[in-house]
Amino acid sequence: MQPDSQILKYDIMVLGAGLGGLLCAAFLSKEGYRVGVVDKNKQIGGSLQSFSVKGHRFESAVHYVGSLNPNQTLFRIFNYLGILDELDLQKLDATCFDEIIIGQERFQLAQGYELFQQKLTERFPHQREAIQQYLSYMREVCLHFPLYNLENGDANLKSKVSQDSLADILDRFIQDSRLKAVLCGHHQLYAGVPDTTPFYLHALIQNSYIEGSYKFASGSAKLAKVLQDLIHHSGGKVYRNALVIRLKEEAGKIQELQLEDGRIFQADWFISNIAPGPSFDLLESKLIKPATRKRIASTPHTVSAAMLNIVLKKGTLPYVNHNRYYHRSEHIWDDLRPERSGQIQTFGVFYYQDSEDPGFASGLSVLVYRPFQEWREWSNTFRTTGQPHSRGQEYENKKNELSLEIISGLAHWIPDLASCIETSDLCTPLTYRDYLHIPEGSMYGFQKNVDDLANTTYATRTKIPNLLLTGQNINLHGVLGVSVTAVLTCAEILGLDELLKKMKS
Ligand SMILES: Cc1cc2nc3c(=O)[nH]c(=O)nc-3n(C[C@H](O)[C@H](O)[C@H](O)COP(=O)(O)OP(=O)(O)OC[C@H]3O[C@@H](n4cnc5c(N)ncnc54)[C@H](O)[C@@H]3O)c2cc1C
């Protein structure tokens, strides 16, 4: 028995202070509940964490977000919480949020449907009608997801547009292979595979960025901090360095959660922002059937990634207010093929503006796909800021090799890059696994498969009535996807109509 002083009581406990957990806690705090949030890390935010290399801030994951123009979905959600003014949002270029570079050809994806269509039509005049049809179908698909538009519609509507793969729809509308590559040139945003990724995933993400692309000028960690402040001001608390090791179920309900350090938290509701597999691993309960656990364990995850964070010498590389995706050729999906080998094909490049010299970049983050298996040799080692163990020289050598490969690959387009670099630091799939607790450091959780959607998406409700799930594995990943899912999770407690009404008023 724990002494009572070690038992803390809240109305609602949230496991994990990633975006999903923090947002749920913020919604519920705003509606008068006392909410406790526990996260294993020293820094909260999960994928919203920022960190510094030689005093320069870098994002661990989130470089830009969509749907943030006035009255769009994410705008409304943040507006409801009253946090918009605190987020330091910077709009990306209207004429180009993403530049897709294939070989030496450059294509701009613009904000707003009209400009997006116009700029692509200028480059592919023979595909004028195809572009129009693709865009109008994409918008139609988005309307089949009511909650994505903050509507309480028929949840079955989406099944009408969920059967088609990305390849099916591209082939239906578009003949030009280069245009297809341009439209999917930022596939790092969903780590999709054309034959199995549902078209709707591409559509919901593409649409959100066309609607309004922004970056967090002072870092995505600001979002986590602002949400934490809101929770604290409402009488709740976010606990750091608080690893959950157990959820106790009795009489069909979760009674309490236990931390590694022995503290126990009791509540009426428990919301888990931890991926479904690790969430259920915390729980010894017959209510979660072995078949469910087995199904979760066998669901494939999206690939992992490595990110090279480069501190630039001052005044060496001009800043651009958009992102760049470089592909060696039109074979833009090659890095995702299981049999891949040889050179890296695709590089996502994200710029940081030098606040003292805004015409120049102070740093770059370069994102490349990397399978977890490549790093399996060190999979039994664990490392975070709180546990900064070394993985040994061979691991460091492998990191150096990959860093050099990325820099020499990019030299194809930025020939003098090496001479602009002051220092750099590489995040590997193991870094993502250890900081985010995502199995195999997967970028976006479960890999959605159009042929097996039922087994690659999960509900917010569980068999245990007072245990809810939230986060990127449920429905849709990304800041927008996770935010919409948090609305759905909290609707179980607050009521969907009431919550949506407040967000839309
Ligand atoms: C490389 C990369 C780039 C990305 N770029 C973008 C982008 O530009 N734009 C965009 O919108 N999205 C982007 N995303 C996706 C986006 O970051 C995620 O979908 C989203 O942030 C996930 O939020 P979450 O709340 O589901 O989970 P997470 O952020 O993973 O949070 C889960 C939290 O649970 C905690 N936790 C886990 N286990 C325990 C435990 N046992 N006890 C206590 N705490 C625990 C973790 O510490 C973590 O804080 C990117 C993702 C990656 C990996």
What is the tens place of the pLDDT at every residue in 204-222? 999 999 999 999 999 999 9
pLDDT at res. 456? 80
pLDDT at res. 388? 72
Q: Is 71 exposed, middle or buried (0-12, 13-18, 19+ CB in 10 A)?
A: exposed
Residue 439 has pLDDT above 90, yes or no: no
Asked if residue 101 lies in contact with residue 347, where contact means CB atoms within 8 angstroms, the answer is no
Q: Residues 279-295: what's their mean pLDDT?
A: 94
pLDDT at res. 338? 74
For 91, list phi and psi in degrees, rounded to 5. Answer: -75, 135
- Alpha carbon nearest to ligand 1 atom 29, residue: 46
Residue 283 has pLDDT above 70, yes or no: yes
pLDDT at res. 162? 94
Strands 56-59 and 253-259 come out as: unpaired
- Alpha carbon nearest to ligand 1 atom 45, residue: 16
What is the tens place of the pLDDT at every residue in 26-83? 999 999 999 999 999 999 999 999 999 999 999 999 999 999 999 999 999 999 999 9
pLDDT at res. 3? 60
Distance from the alpha carbon of residue 138 to the mean position of ligand 1, in angstroms: 27
Q: Residues 299-321: what's their mean pLDDT?
A: 97
Cα-trace Rg, the chain = 22
Judge if pTM exceeds 0.85.
yes
What is the tens place of the pLDDT at every residue in 248-257? 999 999 999 9
What is the tens place of the pLDDT at every residue in 349-396? 999 999 999 999 999 999 999 999 999 999 998 887 777 778 899 999
Q: How far is CA 429 from CA 68, 370, 376, 435, 502, in A?
A: 30, 7, 10, 10, 40
Instruction: Please state, rounded to an integer, the average pLDDT across all residues of the chain.
Output: 95
Residue among 62, 190, 303 whose CB has most ligand 1 atoms within 8 A, to mutate: 62
Strands 305-312 and 421-427 come out as: antiparallel
What tokens appear for 345 in the block? 């094909």
Residue 325 has pLDDT above 70, yes or no: yes
- Alpha carbon nearest to ligand 1 atom 26, residue: 471
What is the tens place of the pLDDT at every residue in 114-166? 999 999 999 999 999 999 999 999 999 999 999 999 999 987 899 999 999 99
**Of 41-45, 164-168, 338-342, 420-424, the least confident:** 338-342
Please state, in angstroms and rounded to a whole number, the distance separating the CA atoms of residues 22 and 505: 22
pLDDT at res. 131? 98
String of DSSP letters for 93-122:
PTT-SEEEEETTEEEEEPSSHHHHHHHHHH
Residue 168 has pLDDT above 90, yes or no: yes
Q: pLDDT category, 94, cuts 50, 70, 90?
A: very high
What tokens appear for 142 in the block? 């988005």
Q: Residues 278-307: what's their mean pLDDT?
A: 94
pLDDT cut 70: percent of the chain above it: 99
pLDDT at res. 466? 98
Closest CA to 219 of 360, 93, 45: 45
Q: Is 33 helix (H, G, I), strand (E, B) or coil?
A: coil
What tokens appear for 232 in the block? 């604290």
- Alpha carbon nearest to ligand 1 atom 21, residue: 47
Q: pLDDT category, 198, cuts 50, 70, 90?
A: very high
Distance from the alpha carbon of residue 265 to the mean position of ligand 1, in angstroms: 23
Asked if residue 47 lies in contact with residue 302, where contact means CB atoms within 8 angstroms, the answer is no
Which residues' Cβ are closer than 6 Å to ligand 1?
15-21, 38-41, 46-48, 61-65, 243-244, 273-274, 278, 305, 307, 367, 432, 436-438, 443-444, 471-472, 477-479, 482
Q: pLDDT category, 280, cuts 50, 70, 90?
A: very high
Residue 435 has pLDDT above 90, yes or no: no
For 443, list phi and psi in degrees, rounded to 5. Answer: -65, -50
pLDDT at res. 387? 72
Domains and CATH numbers, the chain: 4-89+217-299+456-504 (3.50.50.60), 110-212 (no CATH), 302-444 (no CATH)
Cβ within 8 Å of residue 244, ≥6 positions away: 15, 38, 40, 257, 258, 259, 260, 274, 282
